[in-house]
Amino acid sequence: MSQERGFRDPATQSMMLTALYIAQEQYGHLNAEAIERVAGRLDLPVSQVYSTASFYSLFHVQPKAKYHLQICEGLSCALCGGGDALIEYLEGKLGITAGESTPDDLFSLEVVQCLASCGTSPAMRVNDELYEDLNFDKVDRLLDQLAGRAGE
Ligand code: FES
């Protein structure tokens, strides 16, 4: 298959998402080697695979902490007490700013757009798990619970 064909082929496009997910499971994040491997397997340009990997919040092109928190700043979440209020709360509680990891590499924080949970906002994803209807108390309990699991 030529790169031009793969680039335009919807089946290859959809295989790329699955391949990226599997590669992320294997590598921990989508580093250069993982991106090149997916591109090679699907005969796609590396730039296209990287562009896709860096677009979706489900994929990580940088290493993440053990618990990667993705907090939504979308409109529904903001109107329901999330957004900036929850982001600032998490930053204060963890002692980091969005885009950083805690020194023990337990938590990393990322601000993302809609997590497709507007009806149950505010929402946050921790690794592959979605948490909804959040407030400060629920965030406190969740972080305590995760910190307690840290040694597992
Ligand atoms: S705006 Fe936050 S989940 Fe949609």
Ligand 1 pocket check for 24: Cβ under 6 Å: no
- The secondary element (H helix, E strand) that includes residue 70 is strand 67-72
pLDDT of residue 7: 64
Ligand 1 pocket check for 123: Cβ under 6 Å: yes
- Nearest of 6, 10, 1 to residue 44 by alpha carbon: 6
- The secondary element (H helix, E strand) that includes residue 107 is strand 107-112
| Span 81-85, average pLDDT | 92
For residue 122, say if its preceding peptide bond is cis, omega within 30 degrees of 0: yes
139 near 93, Cβ under 8 Å? yes
Flag whether pLDDT at 148 surpasses 70.
yes
Ligand 1 pocket check for 70: Cβ under 6 Å: no
Q: CA–CA distance from 71 to each of 10, 96, 122 (Å)?
A: 31, 14, 9
| Span 30-52, average pLDDT | 95
Ligand 1 pocket check for 139: Cβ under 6 Å: no
The band of 13, judged by pLDDT with boundaries at 50, 70 and 90, is confident
- Nearest of 120, 17, 128 to residue 74 by alpha carbon: 120
The overall average pLDDT reported for the chain is: 91
Flag whether pLDDT at 109 surpasses 70.
yes
Domain 67-148 has CATH 3.40.30.10: yes
pLDDT of residue 1: 47
> Which atom of ligand 1 lies closest to the CA of 73?
2
pLDDT of residue 36: 97
Place of tokens 């499971």: 25
Centroid of ligand 1 to alpha carbon of 70 (angstroms): 11
Centroid of ligand 1 to alpha carbon of 91 (angstroms): 19
The pTM for the full model equals: 0.81
Angle 47-68-72 (CA atoms, 0-180°, nearest 5)? Answer: 85
